[in-house]
Amino acid sequence: MKVESHTPRIEIHLGPEPIVESAPSCDQETGFGASCEFSGRVRAVNFGRAVESVHYDAFIPLARKALQKIAEEALKEAGSPGSIRIQHRTGAVGVGESSVWIQVLTPHRDEAFRVCRTVIERLKHEAPIWKKEVYTDGETEWLKGHSLCAAGRNS
């Protein structure tokens, strides 16, 4: 059986709307046998401090471009066709709520796991998305993530 070339389908959404984790729709026709998902949620305690919420800020056009590049490169590095969907919240996100969701579809599980891991790790350090934790005592702190943010701790 000849494997057809596949242009990656990459969907990216950044905004204040709650994340809707959903099953693939038309991707079922592609023959992808593996789906790997990652959901990142706001923790109640971080670095020993009680968290009320996290405020995410992003430069949307640049963040979208960065996420597109990350997704394309992750599939290329894995040597696999695939589809990637990324949703990232902006604005205030409460404890227990999803702030980021990634879904990767590939022919086999190994590359699905690798691509999903690559996307989240690179997103945390390369995408111009910043997060400020709001603590229950009223204090706030911008956390280190994207290289443009020099202050704070690792998140």
Report if residue 68 sits inside a domain: yes
Report if residue 155 sits inside a domain: no
pTM of the complete model: 0.86
* Domain span including residue 94: 9-20+28-143
pLDDT at 4: 53
Q: How far apart are CA 139 and CA 121, in angstroms?
A: 27
Report if residue 150 sits inside a domain: no
Q: How far is CA 46 from CA 41, 50, 58, 66, in A?
A: 12, 7, 21, 27
Query: For 113-130, what is each residue's pLDDT tens digit?
Result: 999 999 999 999 999 999
Report if residue 4 sits inside a domain: no
Report if residue 124 sits inside a domain: yes
How many domains would you assign to the chain?
Answer: 1
Report if residue 87 sits inside a domain: yes
Which range, 1-5, 90-94, 145-149, has the best average confidence (pLDDT)?
A: 90-94
Report if residue 3 sits inside a domain: no
CATH of the domain at 15: 3.90.1170.40
Report if residue 149 sits inside a domain: no
